[in-house]
Structure 1
Amino acid sequence: MSFVLSGCGAYFNQPTTPQQARISEGTQQTKKLKQLPEPQIPLEVGVYNFKDQTGQFKSIENVSTFSTAVTQGATTILIKALEDSGWFRPIERENFGNLQTERNIIRTTREQYQNSQNSAAQRLSPLKFAGIILEGGIISYDTNILTGGVGARYFGVGGSSQYRQDRITVYLRAVSTSTGEILKTVNVSKTILSQGVDVGLFRYVNFQRLLEVETGFTKNEPSQMAVQEAIEKAVMLLILEGIKDDLWSTKEGELKDQELIKEYELEQKLENDTELYERQYLKHEYRFAVSALGGVNFLDGDYTTSAIDFMSGVGLKVRLMPELGLNFQTNIMRFNATKDFKNWWVSESLNLEYNILPHDRLSPFFYAGPGVLFYADDTDTETLERWDSFFKLQVGAGLEYALTDRFSLIVQTDWNSVFSDKIDQLESGRRDDFYYNIGIGINYHFGPKSTNLKHIRK
């Protein structure tokens, strides 16, 4: 719902009249480029061709098209980004032939004027040369890396929302013209979001009176804006990498350089801990974890009067691999089969736990294993005595959300088969008793950071 509402701005700003030409929009990265401190010495750079290296065309069903998927003017965008940063003085190299032709025209005209006026021809200023050449290009354009949607319809009234995410990647490198050495190479990726929302009503309001209403909108992030932002980010990274390696520096000196480097290293750490689809990467290298949880249980036996009752537990987990671990858990619970049968039980379980996304902040997990169920109530019955034990099998699933590196919240539910019909004190039919647990708790991770886990993670 929040995704749908966040996109409603396009619906309430529908164009109804022709719009006038306007100065092109800037990106968030444009503002950051212009806020960079001044360089000690602006660098003269040449850009020959920063081109689209993907060779992709727009994907349109049942239609042949020669329109490219991304802009072919990436060189112009790069030159504008270099100017906005204030760190570079771009020199015309993309259309150098045009420049050279115009200079020849000027030179010829002045020579002719010299011959007719018997005066010395004014010399042209020498062309500047670049100390650095910037190379690279748009190296990938991946479509439909993430698609999805949601919809519902009831009695002719409904709506739906769909989204699609593409991704563009650019590489930029600085080459020394005096030695040919590649000084730095940086790369940047930027996602491109497309979304659509539609709502409809189709209903007979009276006999032979049909009401049909439809509305909706689609919103596509301009690919040119995505290319611009990615190139501007690459220019900024090139500047910061150069400051870090003492290739150039700010006008304000060493203290400002160190401040920029510190901010850049923090951003690098956050980016290194983020995987595809903006998933934050967590290490989870602690070998052990203790857990405490509380919740409810439900006994499914021979009585139809069973009710939900109390359950709590503690556990100890040993991480064998980032995805795999052993979990020993003790639960104390009260089964509520009838008004007269409310007794306390203790269970011990040893489960093999599999974590699907071990390095994500939110991850589902599954567990299964054997265990023992003990009758722990003071009241003996005809079928049960204190500390009677029953073998059981447990299967469950849950979600774990990492609050910090050491603490995480867990929500889990499991099904337990006891292989006995005595749990509710009524042996009836051929089906054994079993019960469900639903709990919420917290994990505390501790112990040494296993070197084996680090090796597996790498």
Structure 2
Amino acid sequence: MLRFLLRLLPLACLAAAGCAPYFHQPFTTESARLGAEVRASAELRSLPEPQEPVVVAVYKFRDQTGQYKPSQNGSSFSTAVTQGATSILLRALEESRWFEPIERENLGNLLNERKIIRSSRAEYSDATGQKEPPLPPLLFAGVILEGGIISYDANILTGGAGLRYFGAGASGQYRQDRVTVYLRAISTSNGEILKTVYTSKTILSQQVDASLFRFVSFKRLLETETGFTYNEPTEMAVKEAIEKSVRALVIEGMVEGLWNPRHAADRQGRAVAEYQREKEENLTTDVLGRSLQERRSSFGIGLNGAALRYAGDFKAPQVQPGGELTLRYGGPRNGRLAGVVNLGRGTLGAGDYYRETFNYAELAGHLRLFPQERLTPYLVAGGGLTVRNQPAAGRTSMLPHVVGGVGLEVLPTDRLGLLVAIDNHYYFSDQLDRVAQGKYNDFYWAARAGVVFYLGRRAGAPQSSRPLTP
């Protein structure tokens, strides 16, 4: 039993590393607390000070998706996102210090209350003969903020993994949703739309469970299970998206001169530079958050080490070493396909019967499946010639072959690539080992690992980078 538990210990440690919510389970009731803050709140408070706050009105910032909460057991009458987005937006405007929001969502309640105040003052004046001062006029807004939650996409990414062995196992599942917010500023003087921004936020749900079902001795059964489910609060995701849109609106308006910071230097300050950098990075980021851009230059040179396993007419094949110099060219815009020239040297062997060292040259093509990512699988296909000596004849011979394989490349930097691959070299004749026997031609397998250095300017990169400040 102890030995079995020790075998499960590494698996348990690995599972525990991603199960932080499991160790924070609530076992008692909790007192009310201040609302949880998100990262976007700190970004709002870090904005530079305004020259003068802008008076803005928000009539209705609502859910425009019309979607109900997804349910596995049928329809649900709960909405997918909060219906109180106006209150979230008003707080974000206050936190930014750039806007002075005025009440417009429940304007009827405000006007009714002012009528009651006027009526009470008039009755008091009639009863006492003392004239009461009039109510001050309501503030009017120079800018109206419109927009709303315009999209809630459920299950944009789902997945999971599990492992079970002899009654012990663990599994995990995850789901990712996304909420999208649009916000626009409108001038009340002429109705012009001054600026429109939009932001999105993913919502993560995950489930992890583990179980054990095993007889520890005769007639003694051990059965246990545990797990947890975590759903990121939708309201917090909406809050973060709205606060991000307010920050974007402040900076966009400051850059275009719609409103001014207290200090002119803040127009080229840290907040603006960070926003411009994020905006440029967003141009090469897809909906799943992956950074997609040209990373490799057109020309690369690399070195590979290999382990070669012979498959021919002799028995007891051995694994022998090999090396390879590779040159690759991807054209003006390096993408999925690259041409590769390989110059290599290797040894094949089988027991005490066969051992030979040879040179080869190959021309092949690499097809990258994800050319704009740092980690991409690739396919190899091509052909070449193997050169070997024939001492008895006093000359060399060349044997044609084809090569095909699969590999994986990872880029720690845009200049350096690390490769692992497996490929097969199949010959058009049965003379590689100098013995023609059977109906199959000779071939060998190669497992490779190496590095490639990309030289020159990155394919598709601009000549000079754009400035980060306006």
The question of 1:262 aligning with 2:273 is answered yes
Inter-partner Cα distance in structure 1 for 2:178 and 2:234:
10
Higher deviation after alignment, 225-234 or 63-72: 63-72
Inter-partner Cα distance in structure 1 for 2:449 and 2:255:
47
- 3-state secondary structure, aligned to 1:172: strand
Structure 2 counterparts to residues 186-265 of structure 1, below 5 A: 186-255=197-266, 257-265=268-276
Inter-partner Cα distance in structure 2 for 1:421 and 1:276:
52
TM-score when normalising by structure 2? 0.90
Aligned to 1:279: 290
The question of 1:399 aligning with 2:408 is answered yes
Taking only aligned residues, the RMSD between alpha carbons, in angstroms, comes to 2.2
User: How far 1:389 moved relative to its partner?
Assistant: 1.2
Higher deviation after alignment, 278-287 or 110-119: 278-287
Structure 2 counterparts to residues 393-432 of structure 1, below 5 A: 393-432=402-441
Inter-partner Cα distance in structure 2 for 1:198 and 1:67:
27
Q: 1:148-202 CA distances to partner (integer Å, 9 max, x unpaired)? A: 1111111111111111111111111111111211111111111111111111111
Specify whether residues 6 and 136 from structure 1 end up closer, same or farther in structure 2 by C-alpha distance, changes over 3 A only: farther
Aligned to 2:383: 370
State the number of aligned residues. 449
Inter-partner Cα distance in structure 2 for 1:304 and 1:282:
49
Aligned to 2:7: none
The question of 1:151 aligning with 2:162 is answered yes
Aligned to 2:338: 325
Q: 1:252-280 CA distances to partner (integer Å, 9 max, x unpaired)? A: 33256443322222222232232232212
The one-letter amino acid paired with 2:423 is D
Inter-partner Cα distance in structure 1 for 2:264 and 2:207:
50
- 3-state secondary structure, aligned to 1:38: coil
Aligned to 1:361: 374
Specify whether residues 223 and 450 from structure 1 end up closer, same or farther in structure 2 by C-alpha distance, changes over 3 A only: closer
Indicate if the aligned counterparts of 2:343 and 2:362 stay in contact, CA closer than 8 A. Answer: yes
Q: Find 1:19's aligned residue among 4, 20, 30.
A: 30
Inter-partner Cα distance in structure 1 for 2:91 and 2:410:
43
Inter-partner Cα distance in structure 1 for 2:272 and 2:14:
36
Indicate if the aligned counterparts of 2:47 and 2:271 stay in contact, CA closer than 8 A. Answer: no
Inter-partner Cα distance in structure 2 for 1:316 and 1:44:
63
Indicate if the aligned counterparts of 1:249 and 1:257 stay in contact, CA closer than 8 A. Answer: no
Aligned to 2:396: 387
Specify whether residues 437 and 206 from structure 1 end up closer, same or farther in structure 2 by C-alpha distance, changes over 3 A only: closer
Specify whether residues 108 and 367 from structure 1 end up closer, same or farther in structure 2 by C-alpha distance, changes over 3 A only: same
Inter-partner Cα distance in structure 1 for 2:23 and 2:112:
52
Inter-partner Cα distance in structure 2 for 1:387 and 1:160:
58
TM-score when normalising by structure 1? 0.92
Structure 2 stretches lacking a partner, 5+ long: 1-10, 463-470
Indicate if the aligned counterparts of 1:364 and 1:399 stay in contact, CA closer than 8 A. Answer: yes
Indicate if the aligned counterparts of 2:255 and 2:267 stay in contact, CA closer than 8 A. Answer: no
Indicate if the aligned counterparts of 1:284 and 1:322 stay in contact, CA closer than 8 A. Answer: no
Aligned to 1:305: 316
The question of 1:74 aligning with 2:58 is answered no
Q: Find 2:45's aligned residue among 25, 34, 44.
A: 34
User: How far 1:407 moved relative to its partner?
Assistant: 2.6
Inter-partner Cα distance in structure 2 for 1:84 and 1:385:
87
Indicate if the aligned counterparts of 1:412 and 1:440 stay in contact, CA closer than 8 A. Answer: yes
Q: Find 1:334's aligned residue among 328, 347, 367.
A: 347
Q: 1:398-442 CA distances to partner (integer Å, 9 max, x unpaired)? A: 112223333322222211111222222332221211111222222
Structure 1 stretches lacking a partner, 5+ long: none
Indicate if the aligned counterparts of 1:337 and 1:424 stay in contact, CA closer than 8 A. Answer: no
Inter-partner Cα distance in structure 2 for 1:76 and 1:287:
53
Higher deviation after alignment, 141-150 or 311-320: 311-320
Higher deviation after alignment, 165-174 or 266-275: 266-275
Indicate if the aligned counterparts of 1:139 and 1:170 stay in contact, CA closer than 8 A. Answer: yes
Identity over the aligned pairs, expressed in percent? 43
Specify whether residues 205 and 130 from structure 1 end up closer, same or farther in structure 2 by C-alpha distance, changes over 3 A only: same
Specify whether residues 37 and 363 from structure 1 end up closer, same or farther in structure 2 by C-alpha distance, changes over 3 A only: same
Specify whether residues 407 and 216 from structure 1 end up closer, same or farther in structure 2 by C-alpha distance, changes over 3 A only: same
Indicate if the aligned counterparts of 1:282 and 1:361 stay in contact, CA closer than 8 A. Answer: no
Specify whether residues 386 and 26 from structure 1 end up closer, same or farther in structure 2 by C-alpha distance, changes over 3 A only: farther
The one-letter amino acid paired with 1:242 is G
Aligned to 1:437: 446
Q: 1:8-56 CA distances to partner (integer Å, 9 max, x unpaired)? A: 2221221111111111100011112122221111111111111111111
Higher deviation after alignment, 252-261 or 436-445: 252-261
